[in-house]
Structures are given as C-alpha cells and as structure tokens.
Structure 1
Amino acid sequence: MRKTIIVGAIFALAFTATAQLIQPKRAGTQCRLIGGDGRYSYSQLTAKTPIEWTAEGPGYVHLYVRAEAGKSADFVLHIDGAEFKRFTFSERPSKKYRMEVGKAKPVPVTQAKILKIKLERGKRELKMTTDGELFARLIAIPRSPSRITPERYDKALALVVGDTRSTYYTGKGKKAVTIKYNGAGMLTVWTRLAFDKTMKGAQNYTVVVRRADGTETRTRLRASISETAIFENEPSVIPARARRFDIELPKGENIVEFRVENTTAPFCAFRFTVKK
C-alpha cells in the first residue's frame, strides 16, 4: 500500500562540512596559538609526556606540529601501537603566530608542519613521542560526499556559477529522474527550478520522492532566481538558487525516483551527492 508523507519546506543555499579538533586523551600542558584571525588549541609534547588521541576511520586526519622558534626536534607517530613514521622537525619562525603555554607569556613559534594521515575503518589509537619539545593538534577531515549519476533521466545540464561547473539532471513530463545506490548513506538532493519569461517572483514547487516499496514523500520548496548561475546548454531559462534536502538511505539496494509537481516551470534540475 502506498504511503504518502508530507515534509515541510526546507531551504538551503550551501552544504559545508567542517573540520573537527580531536581532543587528546593524554598530553602535556594545554596551549593556545595566538595571532591572525583567532586562537587555536594545541597540546605540548615533551620527551616525558607523549600525546595520545583516538580517531575514527575511515578518513583522513591532519596533524599540525610546531616548535618554539629557533628549536628543532625529532618525533615519532604510532598508529594502533605500531610505529607509523619518524620525522625530523625543523621549520622557519612564524611571522604571524605566538604560542601561549598554559598561563605563561606567549613565545614565538615556528611555522606549522602539516601531515595528512589516512586512517582505516574503525577506532584508531594515535600516539606521538619526541626527544625534545613540540606543540601539536589533530584535526579530523570530513569525507567529501560522492556525486551520483542517475540511472534514468532526460537531459544532463551544465550549470555554471563563475568558474565552477556542475552537472544537473532533468526528467521529462511525468518521467522521473531515478537513482540507484547500493549501501547506507545520507543522500543530499540539490534542486534548481528553471524560470522562463512567464514566471514572476518567487515560486513554490513540490518534489515527490518515490522509493521502490511505493512509499512517497513530498518536500515543499520555494525558489527565487539566481543572479549568478546559468544553464550553459539551456540559455532560454534561468536557474533558481539551489534548494536541497536530505534523504536517509538504508542498507541494501536503493532505487529512488524524483519528480516535480505544483509548478508551471519548464522543468526542475537535480543533482545528487551521498555521504556514507
């Protein structure tokens, strides 16, 4: 039996994933990097006090390492108890930053050495040791969403905003845009309504989402003309500003159809990204 769920209006102009500081389980004195646009948390690392973190994979982390200006040291990074790599740290003094160690007066520091480290799936134990004195911070880098090309669609349109180009897909009449995806994840649906010369002001429209089991959801959106975007291969219409919503995909094979109703627009273009 078909079930219809009405979802309220969702407005979004952009989706931004942000990096996240990983707090150490064990470390020396907590420090603050001062200068530029803000203050950044670091931990002190000494020969007697290593730094230990727990990070979640799969994905990447960035390790930022600094020393007091004019000083150098060797350090070793361990992952899950095994030595990962040895490093020699020697960087130029920073003209911009100083390090506040505890409540002491800030001291000049070096520029940062940044290491990009790939982590396998699961919880990973990281440990950093040194023969001198260093400052370090560990940042988790969010995984970028993957683009999905639909299984069925009518046209692929090149959307251009300044120097950025992306591909959107349209259906035709009652023909839906259909995606197929294996596995669980969070699907982000980007929509851009097409404005023709007869359409004045903001426009309402509804995106109907139909799953393979017959369940439908309706998401009501409101569009306004974009002042910067064009469809390169559809010059007769003007794209709306992007509106997006998210759909949770369960494990297994997902077949999902998308169509638009309650609008006089020539078409609505879709773009899909998924984050596992």
Structure 2
Amino acid sequence: MNRRQIPKKTLMRYAFAILTTICVLAASAAHAKTKRVELKPKDASNGIAVVNLGKTRTYYPLSSKRSTIVEVKGPGELRILTRARFAPKAKDEFDYRIIYEVDGAEAHLLDVEGVTRSQDAKYKDGALGNPGESKDLKIKIGRGYHTIELTLRDSLPRVAARYLFAPRKQKKTKWVALSPLSPVDPVDLVAGETTSHYYRFSDEKSLKIEIIGPTELRILTRVENSYDMKGRAHYRLQIKQKGQVVQSFQLSSQRSETATYKNNSKLVPGKAREVVFNVPKGRQQYEFVPLDKGTLLGLIMFPQKDAKLGL
C-alpha cells in the first residue's frame, strides 16, 4: 500500500508556522511576567479614588505651585496616567499642560488638548464631578535611582496622575573603579570579606574626575551617619562641568545593615544609592557636589570594556 508523501515545501511551511506560534507565545508569556508597580509620589497627601470598569485606582493631585516628585529605580518604563477633573457644571472640554523633568535635566512639556469627560470612569466621591479621559505619558528610565518632577503649568483645570513602573532586566556589565583627581580623602568600607574603596566629599570639598567618552559612569553614594542615627536621610547630588550643572539627583537612604567602616567605629555608612550618567565623546572633567550639609562617600566606576579608551 502506497502512503501519500507530504511535499517538502509543505513541511517547511508547517514548521515555520509552528515556530512562529511558539515565538509569539513566548513573547506573550514574557510580557505577562513584566508586572507594573504602582508608585506613590514623595510626601503625597491622600489620593483621589477613581473607579474604572469595576476597579478602583488611586490618582494624586498635581499642582502649579509645587512640584510632585516621583522616585524610581531603573531600568524600566514609567507610565504616567493623567485625568482632568470636570466639576459639576464645568465646560465640555479642557486643555492642560504638564511640565516634567528627569533628574533636574531639560524640562519637557506634555500638552493635552480637547480632553472630555470619561464615559467609563467615575469618582468614588461623586461630589467631585467627573474624571476626564485618561491621557498618558511614557518615560524610559535608565539604570540607577532617578527623580521625576511634575508641575502643572496652569492652576486650572485640576489634574491628577497615577504612576505605574514596569521594571526591565538590566544588562550584565563588568565595572572597574575610577580614581578621582587629587586631593582626595579615601575611606574603606567592609562588607563580609569584601573591602570597597570610597572617597569622602562635601559641598566644600567636591569630588572631581576626568574620563574619556563615550562611556557611562556608575556612581555609588552613601550618607555618613552617626552610630545612633535612625530613620531615613534625604540628600541631593549635582554633577557639574565647567561650573555648570549638567544633572541633579534627589536621593534618600538609611543606615546600612551590612557595610561598616574599616577604621572608624563612631560612624555608620548609609545604604549605597546608585545613579548612572552618560559621558559624551572626548576628554571630560566632572565635579560631584552635594547640596546639603554633611559629607557623602562616593565610588565611581565605568564599564571594563571602555578601558581601551585610555581612561
């Protein structure tokens, strides 16, 4: 009995279709595993409850008088969902503009025009009126700790925002330490069997480095605490070049549970806070300056693959 043979081209088409299906399912599974984390702005007051499709979400009011600050550790993507508030008897359409900055760099503008009342969402407190359609903004966040500041350009209409962060797996990179320019104040920290070489700096004695780009800098900073200090310490860090501020960071930390000073039992280092800074092509000099009283410890690194640049 002769069995019918399936043509080779048909088999290849079947195989390609199966392979494509597997790839799509794998991509969908990977996407499903990326969970978005809901963030609460720094020093935020009580939020506004918005009910949409049976689910209650919390939005936080924006202001034209003070900045809303959101802190996040990258890499990943930050999604900011905004809604205008339509009070009873308000007009049918609103325009609004949101000014936002990442790490104190160049200001950007989210321009929303012609937004109307949402057909699906409502406030849990009906006396507030009706929420507008959701208008969102997506910001790619690099490695390390970052601060996003948002301000309404105008006082009306009232606008509230919700913040969702999708973490992304960061690439494995081998880093090597970069020695700062003299004079320096070295400090050794010990964690287990590992000793790390940090450098003390302050607003009066900044930390200066020289590097050849293009590359990136990984900067670890720690606050210096008295032994009996409790709670969190907030601090600000600026990166300057030729006296001009090129980037700013707002960071917070608490006492480290693992690291200790090698030669000082009266102080306790804070937990390391990481920021990453991109360096353009050519020989560059930078200055790291804290904006608050007290001292910080700093450890600056660059990718090992860039050592060939002659750093």
TM-score, with length taken from structure 2: 0.43
TM-score, with length taken from structure 1: 0.48
Q: Structure 1 or 2: larger strand share?
A: 1
